Protein backbone atom coordinates (compact mmCIF):
# COMPACT_ATOMS: atom_id res chain seq x y z
CA UNK A 1 0.00 0.00 0.00
CA UNK A 2 1.04 3.54 -0.64
CA UNK A 3 -0.86 5.53 2.00
CA UNK A 4 1.18 4.78 5.13
CA UNK A 5 4.55 5.45 3.44
CA UNK A 6 3.20 8.67 1.92
CA UNK A 7 1.98 9.92 5.31
CA UNK A 8 5.31 8.87 6.83
CA UNK A 9 7.24 10.94 4.28
CA UNK A 10 5.10 14.02 4.97
CA UNK A 11 5.52 13.60 8.75
CA UNK A 12 9.28 13.05 8.45
CA UNK A 13 9.62 16.17 6.30
CA UNK A 14 7.75 18.23 8.88
CA UNK A 15 9.84 16.82 11.72
CA UNK A 16 13.09 17.67 9.90
CA UNK A 17 12.00 21.23 9.14
CA UNK A 18 10.70 21.82 12.67
CA UNK A 19 13.66 20.03 14.34
CA UNK A 20 11.23 17.76 16.18
CA UNK A 21 12.13 14.10 16.77
CA UNK A 22 9.92 11.65 14.89
CA UNK A 23 9.32 9.83 18.18
CA UNK A 24 7.50 12.95 19.47
CA UNK A 25 4.66 12.16 17.03
CA UNK A 26 3.72 9.00 18.94
CA UNK A 27 0.26 9.21 20.47
CA UNK A 28 0.01 9.60 24.21
CA UNK A 29 -1.48 11.66 27.00
CA UNK A 30 -4.80 12.20 25.24
CA UNK A 31 -3.26 13.43 22.00
CA UNK A 32 -3.26 11.46 18.77
CA UNK A 33 -0.24 13.42 17.53
CA UNK A 34 1.92 13.13 20.62
CA UNK A 35 3.85 16.18 21.78
CA UNK A 36 5.20 17.13 18.33
CA UNK A 37 2.82 20.10 17.86
CA UNK A 38 3.89 21.55 21.23
CA UNK A 39 7.58 21.18 20.36
CA UNK A 40 7.08 23.49 17.39
CA UNK A 41 6.44 26.35 19.80
CA UNK A 42 9.29 28.45 21.16
CA UNK A 43 10.56 27.54 24.64
CA UNK A 44 8.56 24.28 24.70
CA UNK A 45 10.17 20.98 25.57
CA UNK A 46 9.00 17.68 26.95
CA UNK A 47 9.14 19.01 30.54
CA UNK A 48 6.87 21.96 29.68
CA UNK A 49 4.32 19.68 28.00
CA UNK A 50 4.24 17.51 31.13
CA UNK A 51 3.74 20.56 33.36
CA UNK A 52 0.81 21.90 31.34
CA UNK A 53 -0.70 18.39 31.07
CA UNK A 54 -0.92 18.41 34.87
CA UNK A 55 -3.08 21.52 34.46
CA UNK A 56 -5.43 19.53 32.17
CA UNK A 57 -4.11 20.91 28.86
CA UNK A 58 -3.18 17.72 27.04
CA UNK A 59 -3.65 18.52 23.36
CA UNK A 60 -2.29 21.26 21.16
CA UNK A 61 -5.83 22.21 20.16
CA UNK A 62 -6.73 22.73 23.82
CA UNK A 63 -3.79 25.12 24.22
CA UNK A 64 -4.57 26.87 20.96
CA UNK A 65 -8.26 27.20 21.86
CA UNK A 66 -7.49 29.17 25.01
CA UNK A 67 -7.58 32.94 24.90
CA UNK A 68 -4.23 34.75 25.37
CA UNK A 69 -4.99 35.64 29.00
CA UNK A 70 -5.72 31.99 29.85
CA UNK A 71 -2.49 30.88 28.15
CA UNK A 72 -0.52 33.49 30.09
CA UNK A 73 -2.08 32.28 33.33
CA UNK A 74 -1.14 28.72 32.37
CA UNK A 75 2.37 29.24 31.02
CA UNK A 76 3.73 31.74 33.54
CA UNK A 77 3.15 29.84 36.78
CA UNK A 78 2.89 26.23 35.51
CA UNK A 79 5.77 26.28 33.02
CA UNK A 80 7.74 29.17 34.51
CA UNK A 81 7.64 31.24 31.31
CA UNK A 82 8.63 34.89 31.48
CA UNK A 83 6.42 37.56 29.92
CA UNK A 84 8.66 37.71 26.83
CA UNK A 85 8.57 33.91 26.44
CA UNK A 86 4.77 33.93 26.61
CA UNK A 87 4.80 36.71 24.00
CA UNK A 88 7.01 34.54 21.73
CA UNK A 89 4.49 31.70 22.03
CA UNK A 90 1.59 34.04 21.27
CA UNK A 91 3.32 35.42 18.17
CA UNK A 92 3.86 31.92 16.76
CA UNK A 93 0.33 30.78 17.62
CA UNK A 94 -1.11 33.85 15.87
CA UNK A 95 0.65 32.98 12.62
CA UNK A 96 -0.05 29.23 12.70
CA UNK A 97 -2.76 28.39 10.20
CA UNK A 98 -5.97 26.58 10.88
CA UNK A 99 -7.09 24.63 7.83
CA UNK A 100 -10.46 23.19 7.02
CA UNK A 101 -11.29 21.12 4.00
CA UNK A 102 -14.68 20.71 2.38
CA UNK A 103 -15.02 18.00 -0.25
CA UNK A 104 -17.90 17.37 -2.62
CA UNK A 105 -18.15 14.24 -4.80
CA UNK A 106 -20.83 13.94 -7.44
CA UNK A 107 -21.70 12.30 -10.72
CA UNK A 108 -23.17 14.41 -13.49
CA UNK A 109 -26.92 13.91 -13.80
CA UNK A 110 -27.07 11.24 -11.08
CA UNK A 111 -28.45 11.29 -7.55
CA UNK A 112 -25.96 8.86 -6.06
CA UNK A 113 -22.59 7.37 -6.88
CA UNK A 114 -22.36 3.80 -8.13
CA UNK A 115 -19.33 1.62 -8.76
CA UNK A 116 -17.90 2.44 -12.18
CA UNK A 117 -19.34 5.99 -12.31
CA UNK A 118 -17.15 8.89 -13.37
CA UNK A 119 -17.01 11.09 -10.29
CA UNK A 120 -16.19 14.78 -10.10
CA UNK A 121 -14.47 15.76 -6.89
CA UNK A 122 -14.30 19.37 -5.77
CA UNK A 123 -12.33 20.48 -2.75
CA UNK A 124 -12.29 23.82 -0.98
CA UNK A 125 -9.54 24.67 1.46
CA UNK A 126 -10.10 27.41 4.03
CA UNK A 127 -7.05 28.84 5.77
CA UNK A 128 -7.40 31.10 8.79
CA UNK A 129 -4.89 32.68 11.14
CA UNK A 130 -5.45 34.55 14.37
CA UNK A 131 -3.40 37.46 13.00
CA UNK A 132 -5.51 37.61 9.81
CA UNK A 133 -2.59 37.14 7.42
CA UNK A 134 -3.04 34.96 4.35
CA UNK A 135 0.58 33.87 3.99
CA UNK A 136 3.41 33.56 6.48
CA UNK A 137 6.82 32.01 6.81
CA UNK A 138 6.70 28.91 8.97
CA UNK A 139 8.26 29.10 12.42
CA UNK A 140 11.33 26.91 11.86
CA UNK A 141 14.20 28.53 13.79
CA UNK A 142 16.56 25.55 13.39
CA UNK A 143 16.03 25.15 9.64
CA UNK A 144 18.98 26.85 7.96
CA UNK A 145 17.38 27.63 4.59
CA UNK A 146 14.49 29.84 3.58
CA UNK A 147 11.32 27.77 3.87
CA UNK A 148 8.08 28.69 2.16
CA UNK A 149 4.88 27.50 3.71
CA UNK A 150 3.30 24.50 2.01
CA UNK A 151 0.52 22.03 2.67
CA UNK A 152 -0.08 18.43 1.65
CA UNK A 153 -3.49 16.94 0.99
CA UNK A 154 -3.59 13.21 0.38
CA UNK A 155 -6.77 11.81 -1.11
CA UNK A 156 -7.22 8.14 -0.32
CA UNK A 157 -9.76 5.51 0.55
CA UNK A 158 -8.40 4.13 3.83
CA UNK A 159 -10.26 0.88 3.22
CA UNK A 160 -8.47 0.36 -0.08
CA UNK A 161 -5.09 1.98 0.63
CA UNK A 162 -3.33 -1.38 0.83
CA UNK A 163 -4.23 -2.15 -2.78
CA UNK A 164 -1.80 -1.30 -5.52
For 105, list phi and psi in degrees, rounded to 5: -115, 130
**pLDDT for the residue 32:** 66
In percent, the amount of the chain with pLDDT more than 70 equals 95
Each domain of the chain, given as residue ranges in start order, spans: 3-160
| pLDDT tier at 87, thresholds 50, 70, 90 | very high
H helix or E strand, kind and range, residue 103: strand 98-106
141, with CB counted inside 10 A (0-12, 13-18, 19+), is exposed
**pLDDT for the residue 41:** 96
Q: Could you report the per-residue pLDDT of 47-71, keeping only the tens digit for each?
A: 999 999 999 999 999 999 999 999 9
Q: Is the pLDDT of residue 164 over 60?
A: no
Q: Could you report the per-residue pLDDT of 21-34, keeping only the tens digit for each?
A: 988 988 765 566 78
**pLDDT for the residue 29:** 59
Amino acid sequence: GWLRPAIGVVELSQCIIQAVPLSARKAGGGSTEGIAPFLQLPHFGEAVTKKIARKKVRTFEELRGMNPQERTELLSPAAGFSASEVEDVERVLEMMPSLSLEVKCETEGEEGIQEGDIVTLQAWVKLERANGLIGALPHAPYYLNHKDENFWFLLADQNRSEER
